Structure 1
Amino acid sequence: MAWRNAWSMLGLLVVGQIAMSSGSYLWGPLAPFLVAELSVSKAQFGAVQSAFYVVGALMAVPAGVLADRFDGRWLLLACLLAMAIPLAVLSAAKTLLAVTLLAGLCGLGNGAINQVGARGVLHWFPPQQRATAMGLRQTGNMLGAALAAAALPSLALGLGWRAAVFLVAAGAGLAAVLSGLLYRERPVDLTSTPAAARPGLRAVAGQLFSNRPFVRLLLLAPFIAYAQIAMTTFFVLFLTDRQGVSAAAAGSLLSGALLAAALGRVAWGVIADRFFTHSRSRCLALVMALTAAAAAGLALLPVNGPLVVPALIGLLYGFCAMGWQGLLMVVIAESVGIAVAGTAVGVLINVAWGGFVLGPVVFGALADGPGYGTAWTSVAGVSALCAVALWLPAPVSRPAA
């Protein structure tokens, strides 16, 4: 059909990502309510989020392999249902164990959707538009997170956190129906031979791990992820516990940071396409340098200071620390080639989510112990190290296809 062009399919991918991210990022906005009702420490609450990312990490590589081999339409539908169903059950959960287990199940869908979306963008868009298109797709991630941050605290205050979670589940279910009915993936003739288009797992592994730029990104990915998860999980608690901000106001500040992140994902894609076409890693280095500066600003923030200061720092933090995913996926895909892009993104997510899994526990333990200043300083330190490593020239390896 005529309407099934690159931009309409991108729109469906964005809608699906918004619904998925509304569930993926509900933990931070609802943190004060969950911590109070379940009577848990910050480190224990961090472990709930870690369970979500453990399952997502385990799903990442299998989902990448599936994305390279099967129709993205059905995979997108399955991803969204895998978020909607556990969230609906979680809305009735009454114990920390039940919440943790159901949070883990929610990770199934979230662990697969990036591979499906990245593959779709690579199929539909030419190289000179990919970073911008990938950034636009990734805005769905932050728009969903911003929607959760803005709406969920107020919904939890008015209706209870369980009703708020159920509404997020309903949104994911609706997006699943739309995806199944409307989304299609454009067929791509990767090579002239079917065997080459679908290499075996051993051949794919050899192509990926002999690619030195890819390996460098794998090593840095958990530390880049740590900077993001610190903000989404603990910014609201930081503002309420240390800065004396109300839960609703803190949620609004997080929402602003997430909207800045949505803008950042587009802006960094455009910047990369226009100014860093042949050195996208250096664009990512700039992102991490600014992230380090924002995290240092939060570490030095005076207790109970004026609200405008954390608001402005949050905007910079969101624009950079949560604006990197689309850019990183393009760097990965272009370094290895389209034929194995889904698998490569899956491997990257699997490794990066080490930061998502361990990050909340580490940050929470630092906040419980030495304090939030030390926790934010740890983020600033690893971000600065990532910036230096990414700025250095990478050894050249030939893409797989």
Structure 2
Amino acid sequence: MFPVFPLIATLATQSLATMAAYSFPVVAPVIAKDLEVPGTLVGFFISTVYGVGIISALLSPRFIRRFGAVRVSQLVLMATLAMLLSCAVGSVLSVVLGAALLGLAYGATAPASTHLLVPRTPPRIMNLVLSIRQIGVPLGGVLAGLVMAPLTLSLGWQAALLWQTLPVLAVILLLECTRLAWDADRDPSRQIFSQGLFAPVQMLFDRPELRRLAFVSFVYSGLQLCFIAFITVHLTSKTRFDLVQAGWALAVYQLAAVISRPIWGWLADKWLSAHSLLAWQGFIMGAAALLTGQFGMNWAPWVVLSLSAVAGASASGFTGLAYAEWARLGGTQRTEATGLGSGLMFAGVLLLPSLFSVIVTAFDDYALPYGFVGGLAALSGFLLLHQKNS
């Protein structure tokens, strides 16, 4: 039976939390002007969310076991609410505090969803369900763009943030109606702080198959953000694209991610395993990165947009399959494994784009950094295929 209502609940939680986080990049110039800081500093908001999110990703499985996945999902939304209210105060300090508050719970979204969905999902559609759930990330980004820009122009960015609190509050209350039934497996006696923060990392030492998946998750997520962070500045500086055309390329990238995630999940359930598809995605995104690094003045717009779609479908379309693999390989520890996977993906988001930026700045060229991260993606694909064949 298809888990319709648990899927809607987890998808809504992920979408609203991501929408709040991605609201700042959407209207970064306006916020930077009001706070009298350089516009580039607004980018540190996302870095703070994901950086602190590593901690919540590693710790959240213990809270989920003790309080239940629904209660933890409500905590994610309460942290989202706290972030929106804090940032709406409109000072640099309140914005930094808001980013940290959201990060304290944001890493729990995937582990809570996995804990809730896996027992209620037939194995024959597991990859599809988890891939649909992962649509919440690009969907949250799309919603932020659709909502924040017009509301900011008409009401101001602080009021636009406050309007987001209404659907967040509504979902918190709706989740309470399901809590007794969906959190029936919680264990109130479970100890939360009896083990160290990095206890989940022990799984990597005990399970060789998880080590390869860890490397893949780190690389793929990092490459995903490299595309998102640099595609517009790359196109406007190295090709004939203006800002609007470059924005279209990024929109195509995001749209391809939304459309492809359930398709990848369906393929993994019907034709090839998630493991095999993850390997082939590494080769595809690696090739897309190499070609993207060659963008120049003579590139036709339709070619650039087509390549953006391929990059989005692979580099941003992999996450549902990755979480399905973490859950499958984790077995009875699937919640802990998913938390570990989230932490590694967040680490990739933090580190690889930063390294990419350093290389671009040092050499004033995109071919080298795209070749580097593309090579890592292809290597990840080879590692997965080797694991399957060994």
Under a length normalisation based on structure 1, what TM-score does the superposition of the two structures give? 0.82
Aligned residues: 383
CA contact (8 A) 1:55 1:107 kept: yes
1:289 aligned to which of 283, 289, 300: 283
1:243 Cα deviation from its structure 2 partner = 5.2
SS of equivalent to 1:276: coil
Deviations 1:128-169 (A, max 9, x none): 221111111111222222222444445445554444444444
Distance 1:371 1:41 in 2: 21
Distance 2:131 2:69 in 1: 19
1:61 aligned to which of 34, 58, 61: 58
- Report the counterpart of residue 324 of structure 1 in structure 2: 318
Deviations 1:230-286 (A, max 9, x none): 233343444555557666665554333222212221111111112224xx3221011
Supply the AA of the counterpart residue of 1:311: L
Distance 2:305 2:219 in 1: 24
CA contact (8 A) 1:46 1:361 kept: no
The question of 1:15 aligning with 2:9 is answered no
Distance 2:153 2:233 in 1: 16
Distance 2:185 2:231 in 1: 42
- Pairs within 5 Å for 1:59-98: 59-95=56-92, 98=94
Distance 2:159 2:236 in 1: 23
Supply the AA of the counterpart residue of 1:387: G
Segments of structure 2 that go 5 or more residues without pairing to the other structure are none
Deviations 1:328-379 (A, max 9, x none): 1111111120x21111111222223211222343233334443461443333
Distance 1:30 1:390 in 2: 39
2:261 aligned to which of 244, 265, 269: 265
**Distance of aligned partners of 1:59 and 1:15 in 2 relative to their CA distance in 1, 3 Å threshold:** same
SS of equivalent to 2:321: helix
CA contact (8 A) 1:31 1:237 kept: no
Distance 1:250 1:161 in 2: 24
**C-alpha RMSD over aligned residues:** 3.5
**Distance of aligned partners of 1:362 and 1:6 in 2 relative to their CA distance in 1, 3 Å threshold:** same
- Report the counterpart of residue 299 of structure 1 in structure 2: 293
CA contact (8 A) 1:329 1:345 kept: yes
1:55 Cα deviation from its structure 2 partner = 0.6
Supply the AA of the counterpart residue of 2:142: A
1:296 Cα deviation from its structure 2 partner = 2.3
SS of equivalent to 2:107: helix
CA contact (8 A) 1:53 1:104 kept: no
Distance 1:237 1:125 in 2: 42
**Distance of aligned partners of 1:234 and 1:307 in 2 relative to their CA distance in 1, 3 Å threshold:** same
- Pairs within 5 Å for 1:235-250: 235-239=231-235, 250=246
Supply the AA of the counterpart residue of 2:345: A
Distance 1:238 1:341 in 2: 39
**Distance of aligned partners of 1:392 and 1:114 in 2 relative to their CA distance in 1, 3 Å threshold:** same
The question of 1:345 aligning with 2:338 is answered yes
CA contact (8 A) 1:57 1:349 kept: yes
Distance 1:306 1:62 in 2: 48
Supply the AA of the counterpart residue of 1:302: G
The question of 1:366 aligning with 2:363 is answered no
CA contact (8 A) 1:32 1:237 kept: no
SS of equivalent to 1:25: helix
Which has the higher mean CA deviation after the structures are superposed, 105-114 or 64-73? 64-73
Distance 1:377 1:46 in 2: 24
Distance 2:189 2:178 in 1: 30
- Report the counterpart of residue 270 of structure 2 in structure 1: 274
1:391 aligned to which of 379, 382, 385: 385
SS of equivalent to 2:26: coil
SS of equivalent to 1:393: helix
CA contact (8 A) 2:235 2:295 kept: no
Supply the AA of the counterpart residue of 1:286: W
Distance 2:242 2:149 in 1: 10
Supply the AA of the counterpart residue of 1:282: S
Question: Which structure ranks higher in relative contact order (CA pairs < 8 Å, sequence separation ≥ 6)?
Answer: 1
Distance 1:154 1:366 in 2: 36
SS of equivalent to 1:93: coil
1:303 Cα deviation from its structure 2 partner = 4.5
Distance 2:164 2:30 in 1: 16
Supply the AA of the counterpart residue of 1:72: A
- Report the counterpart of residue 314 of structure 1 in structure 2: 308
Distance 2:345 2:76 in 1: 19
1:173 aligned to which of 169, 172, 196: 169
**Distance of aligned partners of 1:146 and 1:314 in 2 relative to their CA distance in 1, 3 Å threshold:** farther
**Distance of aligned partners of 1:206 and 1:102 in 2 relative to their CA distance in 1, 3 Å threshold:** closer
